Amino acid sequence: MDHPVTLFGTAFAGFFAIMNPIANTPIFLGLTEEMDERTTRSVAFRSILIAFLIVAAFCAGGNFLLHFFGITLSSFRIAGGLLVALVGYHLLQGGHSPVQKSKEIDVGKSDDDAMSMAVSPLGMPLLAGPGTIVTGMNFAAGGSPQRLCIVLAAFIVICVLTYICFVSGHEMTRFLGKSMVMVVSRLMGLILAVIGTQMVIEGILGVVKGAGS
């Protein structure tokens, strides 16, 4: 098992890069621009809670899913790494990957509309999209309960940071400016591409080791 501090730092970097709170904040502001402050905070909290529950469920049940579908951990890491690297590539190009992109919806004014928005597109796929789920499962798969707890702890920290960015979004974007948000987004893309490549390498090494044993 990786050293706990190393695992936490790597998982934190991976989750931060793929959830990208800074780059997602303008999207959140655009979807909630017609809402009052109380409703906006409620939508932010519920969307992040939903994202956490989804990712936590896939992280905890990852081994069961792999065994159920007859998928080896190495093949999952290769496929997941390619997916994560693809997200990083699209971010480096200054856009959103299809596995991240949220659907366009009309912003309603009622509480029901606001809460449904917290589920989709904010909770999923904007925050808990395929890339985030795959990242969590890759870090947690094949490990002990301690490994799962470390990965989820890193994701909780990201969720808290995302909430802070969402509720203070106007001040943050005004302070950073659009150009700095773009720079951060592309930097996150580079980190994601590297993490995805590392996942692929680990998967290939696992296949080679399995074939040689």
Question: For residues 181 and 101, which has the higher predicted lDDT (pLDDT)?
Answer: 181
User: What's the whole-number mean pLDDT along residues 74-92?
Assistant: 79
Q: Residue 164's pLDDT band (boundaries 50, 70, 90)?
A: very high
Q: Does the pLDDT value for residue 97 go beyond 90? A: no
Residue range of the domain that includes 71: 4-212
In this structure, are residues 88 and 189 in contact, taking their beta carbons and an 8 Å threshold?
yes
Structural domains counted in the chain: 1
Report the percentage of the chain scoring pLDDT > 90.
27
User: What's the whole-number mean pLDDT along residues 169-185?
Assistant: 77
Strongest mean pLDDT among 35-44, 106-115, 117-126, 179-188: 35-44
Q: Does the pLDDT value for residue 60 go beyond 70? A: yes
Q: Residue 46's pLDDT band (boundaries 50, 70, 90)?
A: very high
- In the chain, where does DSSP find H-type helix? 4-19, 21-31, 37-60, 62-68, 73-92, 111-117, 130-140, 145-167, 169-212
Answer yes or no: pTM beyond 0.95: no
User: What's the whole-number mean pLDDT along residues 76-97?
Assistant: 75
Q: Residue 105's pLDDT band (boundaries 50, 70, 90)?
A: very low
Residue 174 to residue 113: CA distance in whole angstroms:
28
pLDDT of residue 104: 42
Helices 4-19 and 169-212 sit at what angle, rounded to 10 degrees? 120
pLDDT of residue 161: 96
